[in-house]
Amino acid sequence: MDSLTNHCNGFFDPKLASEAPIMNSTATSDPKVVTGTAGYILEDVPHLTDYCLNLPTYPNPLQDNPAYSVVKQYFVHVDDSVPQKVVVHKDGARGVHFRRAGPRQKVYFEPDEVQAAIVTCGGLCPGLNTVIRELVCGLHHMYGVKKVLGIIGGYRGFYARNTINLTPKSVNDIHKRGGTVLGTSRGGHDTKKIVDSIQDRGINQVYIIGGDGTQRGASAIFEEVRKRGLKVSVVGIPKTIDNDIPVIDKSFGFDTAVEEAQRAINAAHVEAESVENGIGVVKLMGRYSGFIAMYATLASRDVDCCLIPESPFYLEGPGGLFEYIEKRLKENGHMVIVIAEGAGQELVSESVQSMSKQDASGNKLLQDVGLWISQKIKDHFAELKTMPMTLKYIDPTYMIRAIPSNASDNVYCTLLAQSAVHGAMAGYTGYTSGLVNGRQTYIPFYRITERQNHVVITDRMWARLLSSTNQPSFLSVKHVNEEKKGEEPSNQLPDGHCPDDILVKKKISCIHPPGC
Protein backbone atom coordinates (compact mmCIF):
# COMPACT_ATOMS: atom_id res chain seq x y z
CA MET A 1 0.00 0.00 0.00
CA ASP A 2 2.99 2.33 0.45
CA SER A 3 3.80 1.97 -3.23
CA LEU A 4 0.19 2.73 -4.07
CA THR A 5 0.26 5.91 -2.01
CA ASN A 6 3.46 7.03 -3.71
CA HIS A 7 2.00 6.46 -7.17
CA CYS A 8 -1.23 8.29 -6.50
CA ASN A 9 0.47 11.33 -5.11
CA GLY A 10 2.60 11.73 -8.22
CA PHE A 11 5.85 10.16 -6.92
CA PHE A 12 7.18 7.50 -9.24
CA ASP A 13 9.65 4.83 -8.21
CA PRO A 14 10.49 2.39 -11.04
CA LYS A 15 11.35 -0.32 -8.51
CA LEU A 16 7.92 -0.06 -6.92
CA ALA A 17 6.16 0.07 -10.27
CA SER A 18 6.56 -3.64 -10.89
CA GLU A 19 5.19 -4.44 -7.44
CA ALA A 20 2.26 -2.03 -7.33
CA PRO A 21 -1.09 -3.89 -7.31
CA ILE A 22 -2.79 -1.01 -9.12
CA MET A 23 -0.94 -1.53 -12.37
CA ASN A 24 -2.83 -3.02 -15.29
CA SER A 25 -0.86 -5.39 -17.49
CA THR A 26 -2.87 -4.60 -20.62
CA ALA A 27 -1.75 -1.85 -22.97
CA THR A 28 -5.18 -0.25 -23.06
CA SER A 29 -7.71 -0.09 -20.26
CA ASP A 30 -11.00 -1.84 -20.90
CA PRO A 31 -14.08 0.32 -21.47
CA LYS A 32 -16.23 0.90 -18.40
CA VAL A 33 -19.76 -0.22 -19.19
CA VAL A 34 -22.58 -0.20 -16.64
CA THR A 35 -25.88 -1.92 -17.44
CA GLY A 36 -29.28 -1.33 -15.91
CA THR A 37 -32.91 -2.27 -16.37
CA ALA A 38 -34.85 -2.03 -19.63
CA GLY A 39 -31.72 -2.18 -21.79
CA TYR A 40 -29.95 0.73 -20.10
CA ILE A 41 -26.24 0.99 -20.97
CA LEU A 42 -23.90 3.59 -19.48
CA GLU A 43 -20.62 4.00 -21.36
CA ASP A 44 -18.80 5.39 -18.35
CA VAL A 45 -15.51 7.27 -18.17
CA PRO A 46 -12.47 6.25 -16.09
CA HIS A 47 -11.95 7.58 -12.56
CA LEU A 48 -8.77 8.05 -10.58
CA THR A 49 -10.04 5.54 -8.01
CA ASP A 50 -10.01 2.83 -10.71
CA TYR A 51 -6.25 2.55 -10.27
CA CYS A 52 -5.48 4.71 -7.21
CA LEU A 53 -6.99 3.16 -4.10
CA ASN A 54 -8.03 4.97 -0.92
CA LEU A 55 -7.81 8.46 -2.35
CA PRO A 56 -9.05 11.13 0.10
CA THR A 57 -12.05 13.27 -0.85
CA TYR A 58 -12.83 16.85 0.03
CA PRO A 59 -16.02 18.95 0.17
CA ASN A 60 -16.65 20.78 -3.08
CA PRO A 61 -15.66 24.47 -2.67
CA LEU A 62 -18.70 25.41 -4.75
CA GLN A 63 -20.94 24.86 -1.75
CA ASP A 64 -19.47 28.06 -0.30
CA ASN A 65 -19.30 29.93 -3.61
CA PRO A 66 -21.68 32.93 -3.70
CA ALA A 67 -22.24 32.46 -7.43
CA TYR A 68 -23.77 29.02 -6.81
CA SER A 69 -25.67 29.88 -3.63
CA VAL A 70 -28.82 30.72 -5.62
CA VAL A 71 -28.82 27.39 -7.48
CA LYS A 72 -31.36 24.97 -6.03
CA GLN A 73 -29.44 21.82 -6.90
CA TYR A 74 -25.96 22.58 -8.09
CA PHE A 75 -24.45 19.15 -7.54
CA VAL A 76 -25.08 16.52 -10.20
CA HIS A 77 -26.41 13.23 -8.87
CA VAL A 78 -24.01 10.33 -9.22
CA ASP A 79 -26.51 8.37 -11.31
CA ASP A 80 -27.44 11.16 -13.74
CA SER A 81 -26.79 10.28 -17.37
CA VAL A 82 -27.68 11.56 -20.84
CA PRO A 83 -29.09 9.29 -23.58
CA GLN A 84 -27.25 9.13 -26.86
CA LYS A 85 -30.58 9.05 -28.71
CA VAL A 86 -33.62 11.00 -27.57
CA VAL A 87 -36.13 9.33 -29.90
CA VAL A 88 -36.95 5.72 -29.04
CA HIS A 89 -39.78 3.32 -29.70
CA LYS A 90 -42.14 2.59 -26.83
CA ASP A 91 -41.05 -1.05 -26.64
CA GLY A 92 -37.40 -0.37 -27.37
CA ALA A 93 -34.43 -0.48 -25.02
CA ARG A 94 -33.35 2.62 -23.14
CA GLY A 95 -30.08 2.46 -25.07
CA VAL A 96 -26.63 3.96 -24.62
CA HIS A 97 -26.09 6.79 -22.12
CA PHE A 98 -23.15 8.98 -21.12
CA ARG A 99 -22.32 10.38 -17.71
CA ARG A 100 -23.82 13.81 -17.18
CA ALA A 101 -21.29 16.61 -16.69
CA GLY A 102 -21.34 19.01 -13.76
CA PRO A 103 -20.03 19.61 -10.25
CA ARG A 104 -20.00 16.74 -7.75
CA GLN A 105 -20.50 16.96 -4.00
CA LYS A 106 -17.04 15.56 -3.31
CA VAL A 107 -13.81 16.40 -5.11
CA TYR A 108 -10.49 14.55 -5.25
CA PHE A 109 -8.17 17.55 -5.38
CA GLU A 110 -7.54 20.31 -2.90
CA PRO A 111 -7.19 23.69 -4.65
CA ASP A 112 -3.66 24.26 -3.36
CA GLU A 113 -2.40 20.93 -4.68
CA VAL A 114 -3.69 21.41 -8.23
CA GLN A 115 -1.13 22.15 -10.92
CA ALA A 116 -3.11 22.33 -14.16
CA ALA A 117 -1.80 22.49 -17.73
CA ILE A 118 -3.59 23.56 -20.91
CA VAL A 119 -2.44 22.77 -24.46
CA THR A 120 -3.90 23.45 -27.93
CA CYS A 121 -3.00 21.26 -30.90
CA GLY A 122 -3.78 21.00 -34.61
CA GLY A 123 -5.30 23.66 -36.85
CA LEU A 124 -6.89 26.91 -35.75
CA CYS A 125 -10.57 27.21 -34.93
CA PRO A 126 -12.79 30.04 -33.67
CA GLY A 127 -13.21 29.75 -29.90
CA LEU A 128 -9.83 28.35 -28.88
CA ASN A 129 -9.00 31.42 -26.80
CA THR A 130 -12.44 31.37 -25.22
CA VAL A 131 -11.92 27.78 -24.04
CA ILE A 132 -8.48 28.67 -22.63
CA ARG A 133 -9.93 31.69 -20.83
CA GLU A 134 -12.82 29.76 -19.30
CA LEU A 135 -10.60 26.88 -18.18
CA VAL A 136 -8.35 29.33 -16.32
CA CYS A 137 -11.22 31.37 -14.88
CA GLY A 138 -13.24 28.27 -14.00
CA LEU A 139 -10.34 26.70 -12.10
CA HIS A 140 -9.60 29.98 -10.31
CA HIS A 141 -13.05 31.38 -9.55
CA MET A 142 -14.97 28.15 -8.93
CA TYR A 143 -12.33 26.02 -7.21
CA GLY A 144 -9.64 28.44 -6.05
CA VAL A 145 -6.89 26.90 -8.21
CA LYS A 146 -3.99 29.33 -8.59
CA LYS A 147 -1.42 27.30 -10.56
CA VAL A 148 -2.27 26.95 -14.26
CA LEU A 149 0.37 26.46 -16.94
CA GLY A 150 -0.04 27.12 -20.64
CA ILE A 151 1.96 24.70 -22.81
CA ILE A 152 3.35 26.62 -25.79
CA GLY A 153 3.32 25.18 -29.31
CA GLY A 154 1.21 22.04 -29.04
CA TYR A 155 2.32 18.62 -27.77
CA ARG A 156 6.02 19.23 -28.36
CA GLY A 157 5.82 22.11 -25.88
CA PHE A 158 5.64 19.55 -23.05
CA TYR A 159 9.20 18.38 -23.56
CA ALA A 160 10.51 21.61 -25.07
CA ARG A 161 9.68 23.14 -21.68
CA ASN A 162 7.89 26.08 -23.27
CA THR A 163 5.30 27.27 -20.75
CA ILE A 164 3.65 30.43 -19.46
CA ASN A 165 1.71 31.04 -16.27
CA LEU A 166 -1.97 31.69 -16.90
CA THR A 167 -4.07 33.84 -14.57
CA PRO A 168 -7.57 35.33 -14.90
CA LYS A 169 -5.94 38.70 -15.50
CA SER A 170 -3.62 37.49 -18.26
CA VAL A 171 -6.45 35.76 -20.17
CA ASN A 172 -9.13 38.38 -19.53
CA ASP A 173 -9.44 39.67 -23.10
CA ILE A 174 -8.10 36.80 -25.20
CA HIS A 175 -11.57 35.65 -26.26
CA LYS A 176 -11.77 38.76 -28.48
CA ARG A 177 -8.88 37.50 -30.60
CA GLY A 178 -8.71 34.74 -33.15
CA GLY A 179 -6.23 31.86 -33.05
CA THR A 180 -4.71 30.63 -29.81
CA VAL A 181 -2.47 32.55 -27.40
CA LEU A 182 -0.69 29.28 -26.60
CA GLY A 183 0.30 28.59 -30.16
CA THR A 184 -0.27 25.26 -31.86
CA SER A 185 1.41 22.67 -34.06
CA ARG A 186 0.75 19.36 -35.78
CA GLY A 187 2.51 16.17 -34.80
CA GLY A 188 5.28 16.18 -32.21
CA HIS A 189 3.56 13.61 -30.02
CA ASP A 190 5.93 11.48 -27.93
CA THR A 191 3.77 9.92 -25.23
CA LYS A 192 6.50 8.89 -22.81
CA LYS A 193 8.36 12.19 -23.04
CA ILE A 194 5.09 14.09 -22.52
CA VAL A 195 4.17 12.06 -19.44
CA ASP A 196 7.74 12.40 -18.15
CA SER A 197 7.31 16.16 -18.41
CA ILE A 198 3.92 16.04 -16.69
CA GLN A 199 5.48 14.03 -13.88
CA ASP A 200 8.57 16.21 -13.53
CA ARG A 201 6.55 19.41 -13.38
CA GLY A 202 4.09 18.01 -10.82
CA ILE A 203 1.14 18.54 -13.17
CA ASN A 204 -1.98 16.69 -12.03
CA GLN A 205 -4.66 18.05 -14.39
CA VAL A 206 -4.10 18.19 -18.16
CA TYR A 207 -6.60 19.88 -20.48
CA ILE A 208 -6.01 19.01 -24.15
CA ILE A 209 -7.86 20.97 -26.85
CA GLY A 210 -7.79 19.49 -30.34
CA GLY A 211 -9.39 17.36 -33.04
CA ASP A 212 -9.61 13.61 -33.47
CA GLY A 213 -5.85 13.13 -33.86
CA THR A 214 -5.22 15.23 -30.77
CA GLN A 215 -7.81 13.26 -28.81
CA ARG A 216 -6.10 10.01 -29.83
CA GLY A 217 -2.92 11.52 -28.42
CA ALA A 218 -4.79 12.47 -25.24
CA SER A 219 -6.01 8.89 -24.95
CA ALA A 220 -2.43 7.61 -25.26
CA ILE A 221 -1.30 10.07 -22.57
CA PHE A 222 -4.08 8.85 -20.27
CA GLU A 223 -3.08 5.21 -20.79
CA GLU A 224 0.55 6.00 -19.95
CA VAL A 225 -0.53 7.97 -16.87
CA ARG A 226 -2.71 5.05 -15.81
CA LYS A 227 0.11 2.53 -16.29
CA ARG A 228 2.38 4.63 -14.11
CA GLY A 229 -0.35 4.97 -11.51
CA LEU A 230 -0.22 8.77 -11.39
CA LYS A 231 -2.92 10.88 -9.81
CA VAL A 232 -3.38 12.94 -12.98
CA SER A 233 -6.70 13.76 -14.67
CA VAL A 234 -6.40 13.84 -18.47
CA VAL A 235 -9.27 15.74 -20.08
CA GLY A 236 -10.00 16.38 -23.74
CA ILE A 237 -12.02 19.20 -25.30
CA PRO A 238 -12.95 18.33 -28.91
CA LYS A 239 -12.04 20.89 -31.54
CA THR A 240 -12.63 20.71 -35.27
CA ILE A 241 -13.98 23.37 -37.54
CA ASP A 242 -15.26 20.63 -39.88
CA ASN A 243 -17.69 19.30 -37.23
CA ASP A 244 -16.58 15.73 -38.00
CA ILE A 245 -16.21 14.44 -34.42
CA PRO A 246 -18.76 11.70 -33.69
CA VAL A 247 -21.27 11.44 -30.82
CA ILE A 248 -21.32 15.15 -29.92
CA ASP A 249 -24.02 17.46 -31.29
CA LYS A 250 -21.48 19.84 -32.81
CA SER A 251 -17.97 21.12 -32.26
CA PHE A 252 -17.21 24.64 -31.06
CA GLY A 253 -16.35 27.12 -33.79
CA PHE A 254 -18.69 25.47 -36.30
CA ASP A 255 -21.45 28.09 -35.97
CA THR A 256 -18.88 30.85 -36.43
CA ALA A 257 -17.42 29.14 -39.49
CA VAL A 258 -20.84 28.80 -41.13
CA GLU A 259 -21.66 32.42 -40.34
CA GLU A 260 -18.36 33.69 -41.78
CA ALA A 261 -18.77 31.51 -44.88
CA GLN A 262 -21.86 33.57 -45.71
CA ARG A 263 -19.65 36.56 -46.45
CA ALA A 264 -17.75 34.67 -49.12
CA ILE A 265 -20.93 33.23 -50.62
CA ASN A 266 -22.54 36.66 -50.70
CA ALA A 267 -19.48 38.12 -52.47
CA ALA A 268 -19.56 35.30 -55.03
CA HIS A 269 -23.26 35.92 -55.63
CA VAL A 270 -22.74 39.65 -56.16
CA GLU A 271 -19.90 38.99 -58.62
CA ALA A 272 -21.88 36.34 -60.50
CA GLU A 273 -25.10 38.31 -60.96
CA SER A 274 -23.22 41.43 -62.07
CA VAL A 275 -22.07 39.95 -65.38
CA GLU A 276 -23.55 37.87 -68.17
CA ASN A 277 -23.41 34.16 -67.37
CA GLY A 278 -21.45 34.83 -64.23
CA ILE A 279 -20.30 31.91 -62.06
CA GLY A 280 -19.08 32.31 -58.51
CA VAL A 281 -17.11 29.39 -57.04
CA VAL A 282 -16.49 29.30 -53.28
CA LYS A 283 -14.23 26.68 -51.69
CA LEU A 284 -14.94 25.99 -48.01
CA MET A 285 -13.20 23.82 -45.43
CA GLY A 286 -14.20 20.17 -45.17
CA ARG A 287 -11.41 17.69 -45.75
CA TYR A 288 -13.49 14.57 -45.20
CA SER A 289 -16.89 15.95 -44.11
CA GLY A 290 -19.02 18.53 -45.86
CA PHE A 291 -20.91 19.98 -42.90
CA ILE A 292 -19.68 23.57 -43.32
CA ALA A 293 -20.52 23.57 -47.03
CA MET A 294 -23.93 21.99 -46.40
CA TYR A 295 -25.00 24.31 -43.58
CA ALA A 296 -23.58 27.42 -45.27
CA THR A 297 -25.53 26.51 -48.41
CA LEU A 298 -28.76 26.02 -46.48
CA ALA A 299 -28.26 29.28 -44.61
CA SER A 300 -27.37 31.30 -47.71
CA ARG A 301 -30.19 30.58 -50.20
CA ASP A 302 -27.93 32.05 -52.92
CA VAL A 303 -26.18 28.76 -53.74
CA ASP A 304 -27.15 26.78 -56.83
CA CYS A 305 -24.88 23.78 -56.31
CA CYS A 306 -23.10 22.31 -53.28
CA LEU A 307 -20.40 19.67 -53.71
CA ILE A 308 -19.08 17.72 -50.69
CA PRO A 309 -16.70 14.77 -50.13
CA GLU A 310 -19.52 12.37 -49.22
CA SER A 311 -21.41 12.84 -52.48
CA PRO A 312 -19.61 11.75 -55.67
CA PHE A 313 -20.17 13.78 -58.81
CA TYR A 314 -19.03 13.71 -62.41
CA LEU A 315 -18.41 16.51 -64.89
CA GLU A 316 -19.36 15.43 -68.39
CA GLY A 317 -22.31 13.66 -69.94
CA PRO A 318 -26.04 13.57 -69.19
CA GLY A 319 -26.75 14.48 -65.55
CA GLY A 320 -23.21 15.75 -65.05
CA LEU A 321 -22.10 19.02 -63.48
CA PHE A 322 -21.40 20.77 -66.79
CA GLU A 323 -24.90 20.03 -68.07
CA TYR A 324 -26.41 21.39 -64.85
CA ILE A 325 -24.30 24.59 -65.02
CA GLU A 326 -25.44 25.24 -68.60
CA LYS A 327 -29.07 24.73 -67.56
CA ARG A 328 -28.84 27.14 -64.60
CA LEU A 329 -27.09 29.83 -66.65
CA LYS A 330 -29.80 29.64 -69.31
CA GLU A 331 -32.50 29.91 -66.63
CA ASN A 332 -31.00 32.56 -64.32
CA GLY A 333 -28.04 34.07 -66.13
CA HIS A 334 -25.74 33.39 -63.18
CA MET A 335 -25.00 30.77 -60.51
CA VAL A 336 -23.00 30.12 -57.33
CA ILE A 337 -21.16 26.84 -56.63
CA VAL A 338 -19.95 25.91 -53.12
CA ILE A 339 -17.39 23.12 -52.95
CA ALA A 340 -15.80 21.55 -49.87
CA GLU A 341 -12.02 21.15 -50.06
CA GLY A 342 -12.25 17.34 -49.97
CA ALA A 343 -14.87 17.00 -52.71
CA GLY A 344 -13.94 15.45 -56.02
CA GLN A 345 -10.44 14.47 -54.95
CA GLU A 346 -10.70 11.19 -56.82
CA LEU A 347 -11.26 13.19 -60.02
CA VAL A 348 -8.36 15.55 -59.33
CA SER A 349 -6.00 12.68 -58.54
CA GLU A 350 -6.52 11.21 -62.00
CA SER A 351 -4.26 13.95 -63.34
CA VAL A 352 -2.18 14.78 -60.24
CA GLN A 353 -0.94 11.83 -58.20
CA SER A 354 -0.50 13.18 -54.67
CA MET A 355 -3.07 11.33 -52.61
CA SER A 356 -0.43 9.39 -50.69
CA LYS A 357 1.24 12.46 -49.16
CA GLN A 358 0.39 13.42 -45.58
CA ASP A 359 0.96 16.31 -43.20
CA ALA A 360 2.46 16.01 -39.69
CA SER A 361 -0.92 15.02 -38.23
CA GLY A 362 -1.40 12.16 -40.69
CA ASN A 363 -3.98 14.00 -42.81
CA LYS A 364 -3.81 13.47 -46.55
CA LEU A 365 -2.54 16.49 -48.47
CA LEU A 366 -5.33 17.39 -50.86
CA GLN A 367 -5.18 19.15 -54.22
CA ASP A 368 -6.88 22.54 -54.50
CA VAL A 369 -10.18 21.31 -55.86
CA GLY A 370 -11.48 24.89 -56.13
CA LEU A 371 -8.82 25.96 -58.61
CA TRP A 372 -9.12 22.65 -60.42
CA ILE A 373 -12.89 22.77 -60.91
CA SER A 374 -12.75 26.48 -61.84
CA GLN A 375 -10.28 25.69 -64.63
CA LYS A 376 -12.34 22.71 -65.77
CA ILE A 377 -15.45 24.90 -66.05
CA LYS A 378 -13.51 27.56 -67.97
CA ASP A 379 -12.12 24.95 -70.36
CA HIS A 380 -15.57 23.47 -70.95
CA PHE A 381 -17.17 26.79 -71.87
CA ALA A 382 -14.17 27.74 -74.00
CA GLU A 383 -14.83 24.62 -76.07
CA LEU A 384 -18.57 25.43 -76.34
CA LYS A 385 -17.90 28.89 -77.83
CA THR A 386 -21.67 29.53 -77.93
CA MET A 387 -22.04 30.71 -74.32
CA PRO A 388 -19.61 33.34 -73.01
CA MET A 389 -18.97 32.96 -69.29
CA THR A 390 -17.17 34.85 -66.50
CA LEU A 391 -15.98 32.92 -63.42
CA LYS A 392 -14.80 34.29 -60.07
CA TYR A 393 -13.12 31.99 -57.56
CA ILE A 394 -13.11 32.78 -53.82
CA ASP A 395 -11.17 30.82 -51.19
CA PRO A 396 -11.90 32.11 -47.64
CA THR A 397 -10.40 29.07 -45.88
CA TYR A 398 -8.01 30.75 -43.47
CA MET A 399 -10.21 33.81 -43.00
CA ILE A 400 -12.96 31.58 -41.65
CA ARG A 401 -10.88 29.69 -39.11
CA ALA A 402 -8.80 32.64 -37.89
CA ILE A 403 -11.61 34.87 -36.63
CA PRO A 404 -12.88 35.13 -33.02
CA SER A 405 -15.91 33.03 -32.12
CA ASN A 406 -19.41 34.49 -32.31
CA ALA A 407 -21.87 34.77 -29.41
CA SER A 408 -23.28 31.26 -29.83
CA ASP A 409 -19.86 29.60 -29.86
CA ASN A 410 -18.64 31.74 -26.94
CA VAL A 411 -21.46 30.40 -24.78
CA TYR A 412 -20.77 26.84 -25.94
CA CYS A 413 -17.04 27.19 -25.20
CA THR A 414 -17.87 28.35 -21.67
CA LEU A 415 -20.03 25.28 -21.06
CA LEU A 416 -17.39 22.91 -22.44
CA ALA A 417 -14.59 24.41 -20.35
CA GLN A 418 -16.50 24.59 -17.08
CA SER A 419 -17.80 21.03 -17.52
CA ALA A 420 -14.24 19.83 -18.13
CA VAL A 421 -13.07 21.51 -14.91
CA HIS A 422 -15.92 20.02 -12.87
CA GLY A 423 -15.05 16.54 -14.13
CA ALA A 424 -11.34 16.79 -13.43
CA MET A 425 -11.91 18.10 -9.90
CA ALA A 426 -14.35 15.21 -9.30
CA GLY A 427 -11.60 12.73 -10.18
CA TYR A 428 -12.78 11.70 -13.64
CA THR A 429 -10.10 11.18 -16.28
CA GLY A 430 -9.67 9.79 -19.79
CA TYR A 431 -12.72 11.60 -21.13
CA THR A 432 -13.83 14.31 -23.52
CA SER A 433 -16.23 17.05 -22.52
CA GLY A 434 -19.00 17.25 -25.12
CA LEU A 435 -22.60 18.18 -25.85
CA VAL A 436 -25.00 15.28 -26.44
CA ASN A 437 -28.65 16.05 -27.12
CA GLY A 438 -28.25 19.51 -25.67
CA ARG A 439 -26.70 18.31 -22.40
CA GLN A 440 -23.07 18.49 -21.29
CA THR A 441 -21.60 15.01 -20.88
CA TYR A 442 -18.36 13.12 -20.26
CA ILE A 443 -17.56 10.81 -23.18
CA PRO A 444 -14.81 8.16 -23.07
CA PHE A 445 -11.95 8.81 -25.48
CA TYR A 446 -12.54 5.67 -27.51
CA ARG A 447 -15.99 6.89 -28.59
CA ILE A 448 -14.55 10.16 -29.86
CA THR A 449 -11.68 8.55 -31.78
CA GLU A 450 -13.40 5.45 -33.16
CA ARG A 451 -14.43 7.10 -36.44
CA GLN A 452 -15.18 10.42 -38.12
CA ASN A 453 -18.61 11.90 -38.59
CA HIS A 454 -19.85 12.39 -42.13
CA VAL A 455 -22.79 13.94 -43.91
CA VAL A 456 -25.23 11.16 -44.75
CA ILE A 457 -26.45 11.76 -48.28
CA THR A 458 -29.49 9.49 -47.84
CA ASP A 459 -30.62 11.58 -44.85
CA ARG A 460 -33.33 14.23 -44.78
CA MET A 461 -30.84 17.02 -44.15
CA TRP A 462 -29.12 16.43 -47.47
CA ALA A 463 -32.54 16.13 -49.11
CA ARG A 464 -33.38 19.57 -47.69
CA LEU A 465 -30.26 20.96 -49.34
CA LEU A 466 -31.12 19.38 -52.69
CA SER A 467 -34.59 20.90 -52.41
CA SER A 468 -33.14 24.31 -51.55
CA THR A 469 -30.60 24.43 -54.41
CA ASN A 470 -32.68 22.39 -56.85
CA GLN A 471 -29.47 20.65 -57.89
CA PRO A 472 -29.35 17.01 -59.00
CA SER A 473 -27.93 14.50 -56.54
CA PHE A 474 -25.40 13.33 -59.17
CA LEU A 475 -26.12 9.81 -57.90
CA SER A 476 -27.47 7.01 -60.02
CA VAL A 477 -30.20 4.68 -58.73
CA LYS A 478 -27.49 2.05 -58.35
CA HIS A 479 -25.49 4.35 -56.05
CA VAL A 480 -28.52 5.07 -53.86
CA ASN A 481 -29.40 1.39 -53.56
CA GLU A 482 -25.81 0.53 -52.63
CA GLU A 483 -25.92 3.28 -50.00
CA LYS A 484 -29.09 1.97 -48.41
CA LYS A 485 -27.94 -1.66 -48.35
CA GLY A 486 -25.26 -0.91 -45.79
CA GLU A 487 -27.31 1.37 -43.60
CA GLU A 488 -27.26 1.07 -39.83
CA PRO A 489 -28.20 3.42 -36.97
CA SER A 490 -25.82 6.36 -36.62
CA ASN A 491 -24.66 8.05 -33.43
CA GLN A 492 -24.86 11.56 -34.85
CA LEU A 493 -27.92 13.73 -35.25
CA PRO A 494 -26.98 16.10 -38.09
CA ASP A 495 -30.32 17.91 -38.13
CA GLY A 496 -30.90 17.62 -34.39
CA HIS A 497 -34.37 16.12 -34.81
CA CYS A 498 -34.61 12.92 -36.79
CA PRO A 499 -32.39 10.13 -35.39
CA ASP A 500 -34.55 7.51 -37.07
CA ASP A 501 -33.55 8.93 -40.45
CA ILE A 502 -29.82 8.77 -40.04
CA LEU A 503 -27.97 6.12 -41.99
CA VAL A 504 -24.38 5.01 -42.02
CA LYS A 505 -21.60 7.30 -43.11
CA LYS A 506 -20.76 7.49 -46.81
CA LYS A 507 -18.96 4.60 -48.42
CA ILE A 508 -19.00 5.81 -52.02
CA SER A 509 -15.98 7.81 -53.18
CA CYS A 510 -15.34 8.87 -49.61
CA ILE A 511 -11.80 9.80 -48.65
CA HIS A 512 -10.98 8.42 -45.22
CA PRO A 513 -8.16 9.62 -42.96
CA PRO A 514 -5.52 7.27 -41.60
CA GLY A 515 -6.87 5.04 -38.86
CA CYS A 516 -10.49 5.90 -39.63
Interacting residues of 472 by C-beta distance below 8 A, sequence separation 6+:
319, 324, 466
Catalytic sites, residue numbers: 242
Tell me if residue 211 falls in helix, strand or coil: coil
**β 305-307/334-340 pair status:** parallel
**Which DSSP letter does residue 122 get?**
S
Q: Residues 187, 188, 189, 195: is their CA dihedral positive or negative? A: negative
* Identity of residue 336: V
Using alpha carbons only, what angle is made at residue 476 by residues 470 and 481, rounded to the nearest 5 degrees?
Answer: 115
Pairwise CA distance, residues 364 & 347, whole Å: 15
Q: Which residues are annotated as a binding site for substrate?
A: 240-242, 285-287, 341, 398-401
Pairwise CA distance, residues 48 & 431, whole Å: 12
Interacting residues of 247 by C-beta distance below 8 A, sequence separation 6+:
84, 98, 434, 436, 443, 447, 448, 491, 492
Ramachandran category for residue 216: left, alpha or beta (phi over 0 → left; psi -120 to 50 → alpha): alpha
Contact 445, 430 (CB under 8 A): yes
Ramachandran category for residue 378: left, alpha or beta (phi over 0 → left; psi -120 to 50 → alpha): alpha
Q: Residues 190, 354, 284, 242: is their CA dihedral positive or negative? A: negative
Pairwise CA distance, residues 196 & 173, whole Å: 33
Q: Residues 293, 299, 305, 311: is their CA dihedral positive or negative? A: positive
User: CA nearest 228: which of 57, 444, 18?
Assistant: 18
List C-alpha distances in Å: 407 to 176, 410, 416.
Answer: 11, 5, 14
Pairwise CA distance, residues 289 & 275, whole Å: 32
Q: Residues 39, 45, 47, 51: is their CA dihedral positive or negative? A: positive
Find the helix or strand (DSSP H, E) in which 343 lies: none
Pairwise CA distance, residues 171 & 210, whole Å: 19
| Helical ranges in 170-320 per DSSP H | 191-201, 212-228, 254-273, 291-300
